[in-house]
Amino acid sequence: MQVSRRDFLRVTAGAGAGTAIGGLVGLGATLAPARAQAQELRIRDAKSVPSICPFCSVGCATLIQVKGDRIVNIEGDPRSPHNEGTLCPKGAAIYQLHVNPNRQTKVLHRKPGASGWEVVELEWAMDRVAELTKKTRDDTFIEKLPNGKLVNMTPAIFALGGATLDNEFNHVCQKFWRGIGVVAIENQARI
């Protein structure tokens, strides 16, 4: 398409804080071919591995493109009958779950009364969580209600699952919580 300097300035000025690219788009120019080409270069020679978006119970199908041991892209799988290659904004950002310099990779612990966090060993943290869970459960366990009804529960622990836990993990997790008497169990995936 032909875009005069006057047209370009008119549209970019009209867009206020608009960018030059935004102006071009406003004039009807499409960036789709450039985007498609960049995407094609990114995934050229990559191996595609079918998977599922972990964020919610819709379970949209994805394709994970891998080069060697590196994930280079994640997108919707067009073969899926229910998401047909699309992903919602959360699903479209799954790549950043894996490739993200801000991802926390060490266990941090803040001691009671301390103002800062310190890095601790995973083994130590697991033991500490288990110890506090057991103590809280034992200290607050209710076997029977005043009317004699057997409940075997603790009202002192609340289990909150994360959005990126998959179905299998959630299933095992809720079995564990119910097994020790926790009844307040919630999860974004609504299992």
Which residues of the shown chain bind ligand SF4 in the complex (CB under 6 A)?
53, 55-56, 58-60, 83, 87-88, 90-91
Which CB atom, from 53 or from 182, has the smaller least distance to ligand SF4? 53
The string over 117-128, giving b where at least 16 C-beta atoms fall within 10 Å of a residue's C-beta and e elsewhere, is eeeeeeeeeeee
Which CB atom, from 48 or from 80, has the smaller least distance to ligand SF4? 80
The tokens for 24 are: 């071009």
Contacts of 14 (CB under 8 A, 6+ apart): 26
Q: Which residue is nearest to ligand SF4 (CB)?
A: 91
Which CB atom, from 21 or from 191, has the smaller least distance to ligand SF4? 191
The tokens for 147 are: 């009317």
Torsions phi, psi of 51, nearest 5? -150, -170
Which CB atom, from 52 or from 107, has the smaller least distance to ligand SF4? 52
CB of 84 to ligand SF4, least distance (A): 11
The tokens for 5 are: 């300097």
CB of 83 to ligand SF4, least distance (A): 6
